[in-house]
């Protein structure tokens, strides 16, 4: 059954090409289509387009379909194009002509829009909560290890003293920036498109404010053409949100793989979090973090993929939009998986507390030693030259009892202030 069926058959090759993997993806979105259909049926009853008895029958049957979806018993066989046609068939099968009335004053265009936006709201909320859990863990690790010094690098060259407190809390605060983008995506998704129909509204006297309230949207996407133009935009906004998180996780994963190597030996993990080699018995490979890095790099490509699909399309519906689901839905699942496994793994991190005992790190303290000369009255540039000569001649003696006191430095991490910034988002 196809909602656009006019009584003649479509070539099987055309059908397979146009439907693609929509049936599989729609199993994820079906529960949201049912929720929107319930609100739509209630609205049709409210404005008198169907009777109260028909409204109750539709709502009751939709609730049964929702239960089947939750139990994993809902299927979309090859006889049906998508979730919309399958759900309408089930309603018609049980309710006869009443089931056929569910599509009054709507189109598959606004159906998929509202289902996608309800889905994205939930996914973004889940991701936001996962980010908060990782944030809390990172701040806890920063507090626990704030006094353990760590080499800081620029150009991958030994630069200045850092600390595990500074390292962990840097990633924690970076996640706050990522959530600003997630919140922006949520705000875009939180506008009800239902009632825009095929993109030009309806001659039926529908009540779009009613469905907005019923579905828990903050506001209505008022202009029906603008609602349809949101197709692609809300997906891109979501992709930008999760790509920011992915960038942070990818960088953290790279740091971890580097710091785990024997050449650095800054951190370790229990054996069960590493993998071995088929021929080298000494290996403890950071496969988990390498896969996080790779998956997150894939996620960072998603906004560009969506742009290339939707770019230069006129207003109104285009079948190109169908491909957005197969790009975005797997990316969301990968983002959640990466957040989960990163949090799980970092709970078991072990830090090396004696890294800077190695004399090769003495040059980390050159700037702090130079600064002591400046504090004694020597002009900075003269102190810089004096220190450079001492290093060149092998006469450098590092001052290791450093004191960094300004906000955000290793001696003043401002963890409570960072925590306050995050709490302001929730």
Q: Burial code of 154-164, b = ≥16 C-beta within 10 A, e = fewer?
A: eeeebebbbbb
- The answer to whether 189 touches 32, Cβ cutoff 8 Å, is no
Q: How many angstroms separate the CA atoms of 193 and 233, rounded?
A: 13
pLDDT of residue 368: 87
Written as tens digits, the pLDDT of the chain (426 aa) is 555 455 555 566 665 665 567 788 999 999 999 999 999 999 999 999 999 999 999 999 999 999 999 999 999 988 888 999 999 999 999 999 999 999 999 999 999 999 999 999 999 999 999 999 999 999 999 999 999 999 999 999 999 999 999 999 999 999 999 999 999 999 999 999 999 999 999 999 999 999 999 999 999 999 999 999 999 999 999 999 999 999 999 999 999 999 999 899 999 988 887 765 455 556 677 889 999 999 999 999 999 999 999 998 999 999 899 999 999 999 999 999 999 999 999 999 999 999 999 999 999 998 888 888 899 999 999 999 998 898 888 888 888 888 899 999 999 999 999 999 999 998
Query: Residues 141, 144, 147, 150: is their CA dihedral positive or negative?
Result: negative
The pTM for the full model equals 0.91
Pair 3, 81: CB distance under 8 Å: yes
Q: Which domains does the chain have, with CATH numbers?
A: 12-104 (1.10.275.10), 109-356 (1.20.200.10)
Q: How far apart are CA 177 and CA 180, in angstroms?
A: 5
User: For residues 393 and 164, what is the distance between their CA atoms, to the nearest angstrom?
Assistant: 32
Q: Which residue in the block uniquely carries the two structure tokens 């828990």?
A: 216
Core vs surface per residue 359-368: b (16+ CB within 10 A) or e: eebbbbbbeb
Query: Token pair of 16, please?
Result: 């397979």
Question: How far is it, in rounded angstroms, from Cα 137 to Cα 357?
Answer: 28
Using a 10 angstrom Cβ sphere, with 0-12 exposed, 13-18 middle and 19 or more buried, the burial of residue 14 is exposed
Note the pLDDT of residue 4: 46
Rg, the chain, Cα only: 29
Using alpha carbons, select from 140, 225, 195 the residue that is nearest to residue 416: 140
Q: Where are the beta strands (DSSP E) in 241-349?
A: 267-268
- Tell me how far apart the alpha carbons of residues 97 and 54 are, in angstroms, rounded to a whole number: 10
Measured between alpha carbons, how far is 314 from 331 in angstroms, rounded to an integer?
A: 26
> In this predicted structure, what is the pLDDT of residue 5?
57
In DSSP notation, 120-165 reads HHHHHHHHHHHHHHHHHHHHHHHHHTTTSEEEEEETTEEEEEEEHH
């Amino acid at each position: 059954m196809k909602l656009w069926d006019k009584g003649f058959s479509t070539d099987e090759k055309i059908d397979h090409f146009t439907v693609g993997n929509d049936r599989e993806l729609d199993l994820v979105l079906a529960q949201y289509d049912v929720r929107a259909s319930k609100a739509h049926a209630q609205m049709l009853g409210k404005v008198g387009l169907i009777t109260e008895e028909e409204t109750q029958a539709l709502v009751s049957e939709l609730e049964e379909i929702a239960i089947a979806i939750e139990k994993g018993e809902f299927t979309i066989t090859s006889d049906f194009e998508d979730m919309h046609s399958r759900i309408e068939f089930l309603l018609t099968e049980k309710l006869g002509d009443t089931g056929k009335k569910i599509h009054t004053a709507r189109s598959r265009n606004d159906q998929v829009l509202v289902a996608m936006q309800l889905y994205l709201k939930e996914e973004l909320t889940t991701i936001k909560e996962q980010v908060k859990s990782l944030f809390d863990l990172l701040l806890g690790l920063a507090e626990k290890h704030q006094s353990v010094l760590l080499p800081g690098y620029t150009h991958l060259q030994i630069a200045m003293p850092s600390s595990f407190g500074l390292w962990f809390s840097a990633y924690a605060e970076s996640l706050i920036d990522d959530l600003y983008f997630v919140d922006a995506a949520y705000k875009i998704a939180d506008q009800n498109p239902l009632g825009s129909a095929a993109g030009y509204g309806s001659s039926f006297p529908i009540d779009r404010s009613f469905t907005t309230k019923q579905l828990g949207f903050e506001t209505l996407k008022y202009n029906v053409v603008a609602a349809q133009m949101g197709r692609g935009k809300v997906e891109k906004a979501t992709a930008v949100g999760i790509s920011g998180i992915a960038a942070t996780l990818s960088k953290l994963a790279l740091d971890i793989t580097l710091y785990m190597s024997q050449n650095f030996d800054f951190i370790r993990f229990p054996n069960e979090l590493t993998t071995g080699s088929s021929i080298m018995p000494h290996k403890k490979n950071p496969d988990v973090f390498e896969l996080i890095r790779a998956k997150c790099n894939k996620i960072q490509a998603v906004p560009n993929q969506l742009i290339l699909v939707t770019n230069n399309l006129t207003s109104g519906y285009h079948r190109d939009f169908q491909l957005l689901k197969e790009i975005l839905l797997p990316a969301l699942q990968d983002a959640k998986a990466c957040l989960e496994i990163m949090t799980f793994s970092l709970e078991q991190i072990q830090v090396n507390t004696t890294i800077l005992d190695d004399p090769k790190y003495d040059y980390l303290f050159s700037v702090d030693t130079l600064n002591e000369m400046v504090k004694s009255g020597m002009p900075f540039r003269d102190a810089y030259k004096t220190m450079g000569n001492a290093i060149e001649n092998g006469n450098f003696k590092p001052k290791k009892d450093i004191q960094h006191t300004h906000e955000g430095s290793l001696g003043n991490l401002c963890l409570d202030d960072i925590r306050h910034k995050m709490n302001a988002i929730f």
